[in-house]
Amino acid sequence: MKTITLSLLTILTLIIINCGLAGAKDEITFWTTEVEKDRLRIQQNIARGFTKKTGIAVRIIPVGENFLAAKVTAAYAARSLPDVLYHPIDFTIGWERAGILDAQSSTEVMVSLDKDTFSPGPLDLVRVKDGYAAVPLDAWGQLLLFRKDLFREKNLPIPDTWDQILKAARALNNPPKIWGFEVATDPGQTYTQQVFEHLALSNGVGLAGRTGDPNQEINLNTPEMVATLRFYKALSRFTPPGNISWLHTRMDYLSGRAAMIIWSPFILDELSGLRKDQPVLPDIINKEPGFLAKNTGFVTVIHGPNGSAQYGQINCIGITLDAAKAPAKQWVEFLLGEGYLRWLGMAAEGKLPVRKGTKVAPECFINGWMDLDFGVTTRAKISRFYGMAVAKNMTVSVDGLDRWGLGGVGEAKGSLISKIYGTKIIPEILKRFLDGELNVEEAARLMNERVKALD
């Protein structure tokens, strides 16, 4: 009887211990900025496949990108961080240094997946002293979109230099019917930072001389910055008044009221007329779908007087210091393996693969992406509307994407980038300059002072 009692006690103890472990390990929390209804449904399907394979449940929490930084900061203070964070690279290095992301876990994932299967450019941007602050998951390169049909009518060259952009904006500007070039002017939006940074990079403007030296002093008060501000203000004369947001520029281009805009490739499905919820300029003559797709040209690299660049966004998946490490790493590896093409297929036009393939099939994810459909109401391959050359150029451009403060050495000014994007001080000062509250010298000096105060 004593032996039986001890055995029962032992069994009960093991059950209690195992129940505790199950609660800790059998479910992880995943915060995602892919909050659209259709994309959440796809993520939930991926998670179900992961649970079926591993027995680990994934609780998916949508967080709007504009609220992500504040929500992560609050969760960190309350010690209630999720296990895994999908986030833009703007925050990666800063969050790792702040003790939010666990570089050791991400580095272990990279070793398991083999870093040689990734595009080297994105890896450089998340590199820290002892490995990788997070794992790159997908990317997009910012595009200058222009109306090829209108350019042909005016015999205008491709707008890939500052001079040609201004020349075309002036020639095509005919408000209120059509605006020559709509730039972002809303001081509260990350989009404004992205557009301005693209043009600043194209003129050689960097946070610290773009040398990759983490000890070099911040200096935005340069002749290159002054020239960029003047160029931006010149473009704003061909832009509608008010606070112009990402939604405004997209709607105006789709409805034929803008000759040029700068936007992410997420606009490609709308251009093709594949979303019934997005009105698109119709082809009045031929009555064919995809009029704007056929009549839109794309500039990836913009050339300024002192440089050239394509702004790019890389989205990463990070494991937090508070995470249940083993299941969190399994989830990340699943997303970049068995679930990868389903993840990219959420919005193939704006989710370029940063992992090219596997050891066994080095190009499988690149080739798989080429076969993905895009669109919401109607689905079609990108090459159907834009041609295989455009699709291939989008994938190969990943290695050349540029950003302030990163520029090939992830630690250079990565933590500062997190603060710049979190505070939106550049768009705020830019708007004051555009409104005439500051002159160009004052704007450059104030940007420099405010950014240095964050460093």
Cα distance between residue 275 and residue 295, in whole Å: 18
Least confidently predicted of 7-11, 198-202, 444-448: 7-11
State which amino acid sits at residue 236: S
Give, for 309, the enclosing helix (H) or strand (E): strand 307-309
pLDDT of residue 105: 98
Q: Are 228 and 306 in contact (CB under 8 A)?
A: no
SS3 453: helix
Is there a contact between 396 and 390 (Cβ–Cβ < 8 Å)?
no
- Sheet containing strand 27-32, strands side by side: 57-62, 27-32, 84-88, 312-319, 135-141, 352-353
What mean pLDDT do residues 209-213 have?
A: 49
Q: Are 84 and 28 in contact (CB under 8 A)?
A: yes
Residues across the chain: 455
Q: What is the pLDDT of residue 19?
A: 40
- Beta bridge partners of residue 132, listed in sequence order: 127
Mean per-residue pLDDT, 310-314: 90
**Structure letter (DSSP) for residue 116:** G
**Most distant CA pair in the chain, distance:** 99
Amino acid identity at 51 = T
d(CA 389, CA 386): 8
CATH topology of domain 143-310+424-454: D-Maltodextrin-Binding Protein; domain 2 (3.40.190)
Which residues is 448 bridged to in the sheet?
A: none
Per DSSP (E only), the strands in 354-428 are: 373-374, 380-381
- Residue 147 main-chain phi, psi, to 5 deg: -80, 105
Using an 8 Å Cβ cutoff, are 374 and 347 in contact?
Answer: yes
Q: What is the pLDDT of residues 7-28, one digit of tens each?
A: 444 443 333 334 433 334 589 9
Confidence at residue 387, expressed as pLDDT on a 0 to 100 scale: 60
Structural tokens at position 24 = 């800790």
Supply 54's token pair. 């591993």
- Does the pLDDT value for residue 288 go beyond 50? yes
Asked which of 165-174, 186-195, 387-396 is least confident by mean pLDDT, the reply is 387-396
Q: What pLDDT is stored for residue 398 in this prediction?
A: 81
Q: Provide the angle, in degrees to the nearest 10, between the axes of the packed helices 425-434 and 223-236.
A: 60
Domain map (residue ranges) of the chain: 27-140+312-399, 143-310+424-454
* CA torsion through residues 305, 308, 311, 316, sign: negative
Return the pLDDT at 342. Answer: 96
Residue 410's pLDDT is: 39
Strands 352-353 and 127-128: unpaired
Supply the CATH classification number for the domain 27-140+312-399: 3.40.190.10
Question: Do 288 and 133 form a contact (C-beta atoms < 8 A)?
Answer: no
Position 6 scores a pLDDT of 41
CA distance linking residue 95 with residue 297, whole number of Å: 37
Average pLDDT over residues 386-393: 67
Task: Please give the single-letter amino acid code of residue 444.
Answer: A
Tens-place pLDDT, residues 234-249: 999 999 999 999 999 9
End-to-end CA distance of the chain: 70
- Residue pLDDT, tens place only, 39-74: 999 999 999 999 999 999 999 999 998 789 899 999
Question: In terms of pLDDT, which residue wins out, 279 or 294?
Answer: 294
Asked if 202 contacts 308 with a C-beta cutoff of 8 angstroms, the reply is yes
